Structure 1
Amino acid sequence: MEVGSRFNVIAENALLEGTIRTFNNDTREKIESSLSQYAAHLAHLYGGTVEVTYDRKTEPVVNEYKSAQLVQSVAEDAFGKDVVREEPPTMGAEDFGFYMSKASGAFALIGSGNAEKDTCWAHHHGHFNVDEESLKVGAELYAQYALAYLSQSEF
């Protein structure tokens, strides 16, 4: 939030920025509409005006069930049952949602943490590092998934 530049001056303008993340577009549309209405009412209450710019930078990532089942099966076959687990939905922003809005598929997470190599830091942490061995796992999973997908009788 930017509002003026001096402690003792009432600012003529203010800028408020933020992000809104949702698990589906219906909720996103409701929030966008409600946010615009709320801002307009608040500005009117104080005799001001408001301009709301709502940029949709990413799309929600929603795995298609059949694709998710396939990638789990491929991962189990390639690396063992103990490496596959379901993760709860997260509010991370991911460009993959744009692909998913055009075609069905699944977004699979590949762990890159290794305590022995000090690579267990969160992705946006200053010490983030990737255990490069995980890149091989990811490449193999994607190649095996592509083969399994193309081997299906219908896709």
Structure 2
Amino acid sequence: MGLWQRLILYGKGGHGGIPQKTIDPIVATSAVIQGIQTIVSRNLSPIDSAVVSIGTIEGGTANNVICEHVHMSGTVRTFSKETREKMPEILSQKVEDIARGYGAIGKVTYRFDLPAVVNEKELYDLACESVRDLYGEEGIVDPIPTTGGEDFSIFTEKKPGFFYWLGSGNPQKGCVNQWHSPNFKADTDCLIVGANVLAQSAVNYMLKYKK
């Protein structure tokens, strides 16, 4: 799922009023940002899923100076293991080729971070049964898959598992369930629901698998 990269474009600095004597890494960077979006649309299958996002850009110190280099950082998100493994090569090739077209040099430092969370089918069924036992069918909500990173994926790489999403929003109490937002506020009553469901899941697991 989550992968992280650092991109550096090296050019040749100089005076902003004499651009012909420079290799402008900022111009090359703008092309790279646009170009790497074609990885999803042209380098991967239409039925595969991936996200390539740039989160930071740092370059330049003055309005009339063309800088020597530009630093960027971003994230790549995938679902399949195969796509995850081939993204470093695709991204590096794309950045290097685009930068070369502008006379610059592009370098990518890539770090694998979190894999995707994979829920075991049998445990998914048990999880639904546990929620149903306590809160009925209306308590089950199948969320749309998300490319948000989750540390729990490290566990499911080693052993079969299931990841619950616990709803914590409650507009009536002014609780806004919005990720990465300063307005986020959880309804703490959800902790009771979560504890109940986990306990029921343990009971159902023991009844089914430990007879």
Structures share fold, TM-score greater than 0.5 = yes
- The partner residue of 2:186 within 122, 125, 130 is 130
- What aligned pairs does 1:19-58 form with structure 2 within 5 A after superposition? 19-58=75-114
- In the alignment of these two chains, the number of paired residues is 154
- Tell me by how many angstroms 1:51 deviates: 2.7
SS of the aligned residue for 1:54 comes to strand
Aligned to 1:95: 151
SS of the aligned residue for 2:85 comes to helix
Aligned to 2:66: 10
8 Å CA contact 1:62, 1:97 repeated in 2: yes
- The partner residue of 2:135 within 58, 79, 95 is 79
Structure 2: segments with no counterpart, 5+ residues: 1-56
8 Å CA contact 1:2, 1:14 repeated in 2: yes
SS of the aligned residue for 1:18 comes to strand
Runs of 4+ in 1 over 2 A off after TM superposition: 42-51, 150-154
Between Structure 1 and Structure 2, whose CA radius of gyration is higher?
2
Percentage of pairs with the same residue = 36
Measured on the aligned residues, the alpha-carbon RMSD in Å equals 1.7
Residues 11-53 of structure 1 show CA distances to partners (whole Å, capped at 9, x for unaligned) of: 1111111111111221222322200111222333344433311
Q: TM-score, normalised by structure 2?
A: 0.67
- AA aligned opposite 1:113: G
- AA aligned opposite 2:184: F
- Choose between structure 1 and 2 for higher RCO, CA contacts under 8 A separated by at least 6 residues: 2
Matches of 2:153 and 2:180 in 1, distance apart?
A: 20
